[in-house]
Amino acid sequence: MKYILTLNAGSSSLKYSVYRTQAGAGLELRAVGQVDRIGSENATLILKREGERDSRELGEADHARAVEAILEICEPHMQGAPVAGIGHRIVHGGTLFDKPAVLNSDILSALHRLVPLAPLHQPHNLSAVRAAMSSFPDAVQVGCFDTAFHRSQPWVDDTFALPREYYDKGIRRYGFHGLSYDYITGELDRIDPDDHHRKTVVAHLGNGASMCAVKGGKSVASTMGFTALDGLPMGTRCGQLDPGVLLYMIAQEGMGHNQIRDLLYTKCGLLGLSGISNDMRELEASTRREAKEAIDYYVFRIRRELGGLTAAIGGLETLVFCGGIGENSATIRGKVCEGMEWLGIEIDPGLNAAGAGIISTGRVTVRVIKTDEELVIARAVDAALAA
């Protein structure tokens, strides 16, 4: 019996899951939790296990202290068995990784060189790796990359129409949310092994949101590009934007890099449009015109992208909704599917309201699947331990 830990590090939070693995029994989720307010003087640790919730005040904590605290709170539940492997969600694998990798110092240096491509996420991911390596020196450390699933995209979807030298410098459309898409395509194969899932669009609608066209299990096109800003509007991110807007902001509004970055990442999307909230539940509950308009724009962009992604794979057989909004909001699913009979999409309102596994009645199978990025990471660690 061994334990596997998965870590998903953000700037001020560290989410974790603990799995037990034993020969023949597969992976069993034993606990989940989160350290919040990392970098402040009042970080907190939460552990949820077998219906119980335990929390601790950590005081001042960086990622290294957070990892230590996770070990301290989990160890008593591990019956003396070791943490054999740790899986890390790493946002950017650049062009280097199309699958998970066992991490060593050379790979860490290569991943460090990708920091300029994901300055808001990659440094925190790598801090967690370094902390885990020092707290668990004997454990196998595996990196799982949000970009890896999209490495199969053809050149036309990998590039921008910039002069070629920029492509060679790495200014490409990497795509993100790959762990979620990996899980969903695996689930489609498991649920319906006889279907070859030739033409599938997956809508991962969470606080971050993107869509991916998948053909025969491989990513062909996605709405996120060079960074996780592109494509759909999100909780606080703008989604697709004419680059001329940025030129205008620089020239006419006198805005600098940091102001523009903060605007695009933290003040736009549902929050910016509504002026009320980035949380879809609040917008759905609101009677204000701005909330309705924010939802209208959100749905409109999903429907536009659905058309484009369908064209990229030459048709549509399966549409999957996942992520916090995709899994839970019958309203958004209903609005996305409304009037889409021309594409073969028809859904049953009752099945939709119930969040059934299949909500469609038309030619296109419309599914609601709860995504599980942590399990994809744990499986990668399990495979590395077995190798």
| Contact footprint for ligand ADP (CB under 6 A) | 206-208, 235, 279-281, 284, 323-325, 328-329
Please, what is the minimum distance in Å from the beta carbon of residue 81 to ligand ADP?
30
- Asked if residue 316 lies in contact with residue 364, where contact means CB atoms within 8 angstroms, the answer is yes
Residue closer to ligand ADP, measured from CB, 139 or 234 = 234
All residues at 6 or more sequence positions from 262 whose CB lies less than 8 Å from its CB, including other chains: none
Letter for the amino acid at 70? I
Return the residue matching tokens 């870590």. Answer: 7
The strand pair at 101-102 and 14-22 is best described as unpaired
Please, what is the minimum distance in Å from the beta carbon of residue 205 to ligand ADP?
7
User: Taking the C-alpha atoms of 337, 341, 343 and 346 in order, what is their torsion angle to the nearest 10 degrees?
Assistant: 50
Please, what is the minimum distance in Å from the beta carbon of residue 163 to ligand ADP?
34
In 3D space, the residue among 209, 153, 154, 145 whose CA is nearest the CA of residue 179 turns out to be 145
Residue closer to ligand ADP, measured from CB, 87 or 235 = 235
Residue closer to ligand ADP, measured from CB, 284 or 346 = 284
Please, what is the minimum distance in Å from the beta carbon of residue 86 to ligand ADP?
21
Q: Which two tokens stand for residue 6?
A: 């998965």
In 3D space, the residue among 3, 58, 54 whose CA is nearest the CA of residue 30 turns out to be 3
All residues at 6 or more sequence positions from 136 whose CB lies less than 8 Å from its CB, including other chains: 5, 71, 83, 86
Residue closer to ligand ADP, measured from CB, 188 or 330 = 330
Beta-bridge partners for 84: none
- Asked if residue 151 lies in contact with residue 101, where contact means CB atoms within 8 angstroms, the answer is no
Please, what is the minimum distance in Å from the beta carbon of residue 109 to ligand ADP?
29
Please, what is the minimum distance in Å from the beta carbon of residue 207 to ligand ADP?
3
- Asked if residue 55 lies in contact with residue 47, where contact means CB atoms within 8 angstroms, the answer is yes
Return the residue matching tokens 């910039």. Answer: 162
Please, what is the minimum distance in Å from the beta carbon of residue 69 to ligand ADP?
22
Active site residue ranges: 146
Residue closer to ligand ADP, measured from CB, 267 or 281 = 281
Q: Which two tokens stand for residue 40?
A: 């402040």
Residue closer to ligand ADP, measured from CB, 220 or 377 = 377
Give the C-alpha distances (Å, rounded to integers) separating 343 from 182, 299, 327, 338, 362. 25, 16, 22, 11, 9
Alpha carbon distance 301, 160 (integer Å): 20
